[in-house]
């Protein structure tokens, strides 16, 4: 998710059940930011559940920002081999939108997990911290700096691993 894409408190279905470019059935709105909305979606081809980040090009006011978004997408693709970084599965663009089909993080945000309990138990906190440091180190080794590191942009998968979002 891009910086500024905050998850909504209550997911809501996409209005009038939208099909994205004939390939993905959009479902719940997972979050929104100044440039993008993120939906849970279902692949029409193979029934895979994914996240789709839809970046509205019209909201990118500065003409220099579009090449920056493209560079960020290319950087995310270089980072796909790390187990704690969400993967881009497909990029589809139209004249007005950039659609990123991504791996769906199936658990909570790290921020929500901390907010509910007030703190994380030592072993759990240590495991998440090690995974996040490993992912950030991998980014830095590959010439990528995450520009918005905060618990709200890190997802805890149901299997106990954490994934920072990259864009």
The answer to the question of whether 53 is labelled as a binding residue is yes
CB 163 within 8 A of CB 85: yes
State the DSSP string of 54-86: EEEGGG--STTHHHHHHHHHHHHHHTTTSTTSP
Greatest Cα pair distance, the chain, in angstroms, is: 48
Which residue among the candidates 46, 47, 108, 148 is catalytic per the annotation?
Answer: 148
CB 99 within 8 A of CB 93: yes
Clarify whether 62 is annotated catalytic. no
How many CA atoms are closer than 13 Å to the CA of 22, on its beta-carbon side? 0
Tokens 């659609």 belong to which residue? Answer: 99
In our burial notation (b when 16+ CB lie closer than 10 A, e otherwise), range 79-92 reads beebebbbbbbebe
CB 27 within 8 A of CB 14: yes
Q: Which residues are annotated as a binding site?
A: 53
Q: So which residues are the catalytic ones?
A: 148
Q: Which residues are annotated as a binding site for ATP?
A: 53
């Amino acid at each position: 998710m891009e910086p500024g894409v905050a998850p909504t408190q209550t997911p809501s279905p996409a209005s009038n059940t939208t099909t994205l470019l004939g390939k993905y059935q959009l479902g719940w709105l997972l979050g929104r930011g100044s440039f993008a909305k993120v939906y849970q979606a279902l692949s029409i081809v193979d029934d895979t559940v994914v996240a789709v980040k839809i970046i509205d090009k019209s909201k990118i006011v500065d003409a220099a920002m579009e090449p920056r978004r493209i560079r960020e997408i290319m950087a995310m693709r270089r980072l796909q081999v790390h187990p704690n970084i969400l993967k881009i599965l497909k990029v589809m663009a139209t004249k007005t939108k950039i659609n990123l089909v991504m791996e769906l993080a199936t658990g909570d945000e790290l921020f929500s997990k901390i907010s509910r309990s007030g703190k994380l138990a030592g072993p759990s906190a240590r495991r998440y911290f090690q995974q996040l440091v490993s992912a950030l180190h991998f980014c830095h080794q590959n010439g990528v700096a995450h520009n918005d590191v905060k618990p709200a942009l890190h997802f805890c998968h149901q299997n106990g691993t954490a994934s920072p979002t990259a864009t």
